[in-house]
Amino acid sequence: QGQYKSTLVCPLCKKVSITFDPFMYLSLPLPSTTMRTMTVTVFSTDGSIGPSPYTVSIPKSGDFKTLINALSNACSLRDDERLLVAEVYNSSLIRYLEDPSDDISLIRDGDKLVAYRLPKDSEGAAVVVFKSERME
């Protein structure tokens, strides 16, 4: 609770009027973050490096290209490599994030993302993904 001080000055006679209005509650806007943190597991296709999770921060208003650029820097992608990012659900790939202009808001906070390090010259080549499951 508190008091709100209001000062008014008459433009004609220059008289100053000060009033104090009591208040019980003050509404304030909550700060909104402009960045979003995402964790992506990166797989090496040549088997030289095991799966490694990388956490990147990107603008909430960004696109898939922004995500790929941030991830490329985080995992030290070489000039002769590219990343293929995919969404995983229930241990299966459900879609590739191929359109770089798609909005990053299409990915929800709980979605699991993986990326594959591929040679840059494999742009038109078929991608084979093996699925392994542990059976009890």
Specify burial of residue 42 (Cβ count, 10 A radius: 0-12, 13-18, 19+). Answer: buried
pLDDT by 10s per residue, the chain, length 136: 889 899 999 999 999 999 999 988 878 888 778 888 999 999 887 777 788 999 999 998 889 999 999 999 999 888 888 888 999 888 788 888 888 888 888 888 888 999 988 888 766 666 666 565 666 7
Domain ranges of the chain: 35-119
The single-letter code of the amino acid at 71 is L
Q: To 10 degrees, the CA torsion angle through 41, 44, 50, 54?
A: -30
pLDDT score for 94:
85
User: What is the reported pLDDT for 132?
Assistant: 58
Q: Which residues contact 21 (CB under 8 A, 6 or more apart)?
A: 3, 4, 6
What is the model's pLDDT at position 16?
A: 94
Q: Which of helix, strand or coil describes residue 133? A: coil
State the Cα–Cα distance between residues 84 and 118, nearest whole angstrom: 7
For domain 35-119, the CATH class is: alpha beta
